[in-house]
Structure 1
Amino acid sequence: MRNVPRLLINTPDIEIWPGGLLRARSNHDARLLSQASHVLRRKRDGRYLAVQLPHGLMPLVSRLQAEPGIEPAMVALDATLATPARVPPPEGELPLHQLQQRLDQLGLHSTRYASHTGLWLIAEPAHLHLAGFDRYRRPLWLTRGASRAWQRMQHTASLDGIALEAISGYRSHAYQLGIFERKLARGLDVAQILTVNAAPGYSEHHGGNALDISAPDAPAAEESFEHTAAFSWLQRRAGDFGFHMSYPRDNPHGIVYEPWHWCFRRTTP
């Protein structure tokens, strides 16, 4: 099997993962994943749909061709297989036309929400790059620019005796909707959730440029992170690498103070 670039191919309903990064859920999965160059994974629930093997595509669900979004996913997979690994994919974004349905499910009016918060809709990238692994040994996906900047920043911090850990990076619209659904099931209402989480489509994590950062001895996504040496270092140096804290205290978006949330902002075209 030829080398596969560490690249996530993103389509509206299905992600195409490079082989070797997904966890097996059974012995059968383990055998197939060990041979696969790519894995088609349903975004809304993480279900493995098919694997690309040396001899062709093997479905892992019945009626693969009836899966929502399978046609654009197959087009993207064919284009990936036909492109030499050394050729970087073009930058691009996914359309936002499916997002309104997700917002309707939450009873959120997108124009009113955007006007109230000052947040804007953020499209998902068509391609994401492997930036390493997070605290939980999950693949960390970011845009090309954010991936390179994060790796440089993490390395520079280590030279200064500071360990920076990623907690999470890219999240899909479907993942953000799942956060809301789980919290609604626990008895919270949408207004309460919106004080902590941006509405689906409005989180900086969707764009593949945002990182939640912590330190090895600090809890994840807690305000106490501001008292760590890692946070002090980020305050001094993160801007040198294009990262900025998005939600300081009393931010105009109505989101709680998040000293752990940093976003890469491209400084050159």
Structure 2
Amino acid sequence: MPLRRSKQSLSFIVTVTLVILLAFCIKTVSMTEQLSLQTKKISSAPETTVLPQTKYGHLPYSEADPTQLTNVQGKRAEIQAASNFSAMAQAAHQKGIELSVISAFRTISDQQYLFDKKISRSGSAKAAAQLVAPPGYSEHHTGFAFDIGDRQNAETDLREAFEQTNAFRWLSTNAKKFGFELSFPRHNRQGVSYEPWHWRYVNSSLAQKVFLAAERFFSN
């Protein structure tokens, strides 16, 4: 008799335990479904768009990690951007065009010197910013921006006349194949002066992150 009662008690305990476990599992599944639904709602919600703070039309940029820079034609640039520029320059060379790197990576200190120099010539920071980005607001800080020239027409370096060269015409057709795009085309939405020589590399996950605001808010 005691043995039978013991077995019945054990059976009862097992049954109760199973019921509790089943209830727990059902609750867990329900919570998971609710969380999944909430996640879907968040994912489908429109992305908040906030206009980034600019200075005279220029977006803010941080200096590149020095360990991620390498040499290209005597200038420093982000490793992947430098590699792709070299490949692009080689392709242009095969067509009889010689691309040169006038400028690439610049520190904030470098940019401060250039900006102050331009202010002394133009008379105001606002006027200077039409031609030179204020320190902390230059794409050159990223290591992804290149001022490109035509070795066969060096007199057009950093001038609108560069757009009349074979180098610019070749870049306009082929630069995209190597991940480059013109940063400040005519009538750009940032209000920065047209710079046919200024190109940025955008074909890497880091570059796309760096220029996300430029692409989202100011892409022509």
Query: Is TM > 0.5 for Structure 1 vs Structure 2?
Result: yes
How far 1:259 moved relative to its partner?
0.4
Q: Give the stretch that moved more between structures: 155-164 or 176-185.
A: 176-185
The amino acid that maps onto 2:138 is: S
Say whether residues 1:119 and 2:59 are aligned partners: yes
Matched ranges for 1:158-169 at <5 A: 158-169=93-104
Partner residue in 2 for 1:189: 124
Matched ranges for 1:1-80 at <5 A: none
How far 1:198 moved relative to its partner?
1.3
Distance, in Å, in 2 between the alignment partners of 1:115 and 1:185 is 19
Partner residue in 1 for 2:15: none
Per-residue CA deviations over 1:52-79 (Å, capped at 9, x if unaligned) read: xxxxxxxxxxxxxxxxxxxxxxxxxxxx
Is the helix fraction higher in 1 or 2?
Answer: 2
The amino acid that maps onto 1:174 is: S
How far 1:243 moved relative to its partner?
0.6
Partner residue in 2 for 1:130: 71
| Counterpart pick for 1:261 among 194, 198, 201 | 198
Residues matched between the structures, number:
153
SS in 2 for 1:171: coil
Distance, in Å, in 2 between the alignment partners of 1:196 and 1:241 is 26
Partner residue in 2 for 1:252: 189
| Counterpart pick for 2:140 among 198, 205, 211 | 205
Distance, in Å, in 2 between the alignment partners of 1:201 and 1:175 is 10
Partner residue in 2 for 1:30: none
Closer/same/farther in 2, CA of residues 193 and 118 from structure 1, 3 Å limit: closer
Per-residue CA deviations over 1:140-164 (Å, capped at 9, x if unaligned) read: 1001101100110000110111111
- Structure 1, unmatched stretches of 5+, are 1-110, 134-138
SS in 2 for 1:117: coil
Closer/same/farther in 2, CA of residues 125 and 119 from structure 1, 3 Å limit: same
Per-residue CA deviations over 1:90-141 (Å, capped at 9, x if unaligned) read: xxxxxxxxxxxxxxxxxxxxx995176262333332321011x2xxxxx210
Closer/same/farther in 2, CA of residues 200 and 184 from structure 1, 3 Å limit: same
Q: What is the RMSD of the two structures over their aligned residues, measured on CA atoms?
A: 2.1
The structure with higher relative contact order (CA 8 Å, sep 6+) is 2
Say whether residues 1:225 and 2:162 are aligned partners: yes
Preserved contact between residue 61 and residue 142 of structure 2 (Cα < 8 Å): no
Preserved contact between residue 118 and residue 252 of structure 1 (Cα < 8 Å): no
SS in 1 for 2:113: helix
Structure number with larger C-alpha Rg: 2
Partner residue in 1 for 2:180: 243
Closer/same/farther in 2, CA of residues 113 and 268 from structure 1, 3 Å limit: closer
Closer/same/farther in 2, CA of residues 244 and 233 from structure 1, 3 Å limit: same
Matched ranges for 1:144-159 at <5 A: 144-159=79-94
Is the strand fraction higher in 1 or 2?
Answer: 1
Say whether residues 1:178 and 2:113 are aligned partners: yes
Preserved contact between residue 62 and residue 141 of structure 2 (Cα < 8 Å): yes
Aligned residues with identical type, % of pairs: 33
Say whether residues 1:215 and 2:155 are aligned partners: no
Distance, in Å, in 2 between the alignment partners of 1:245 and 1:184 is 25
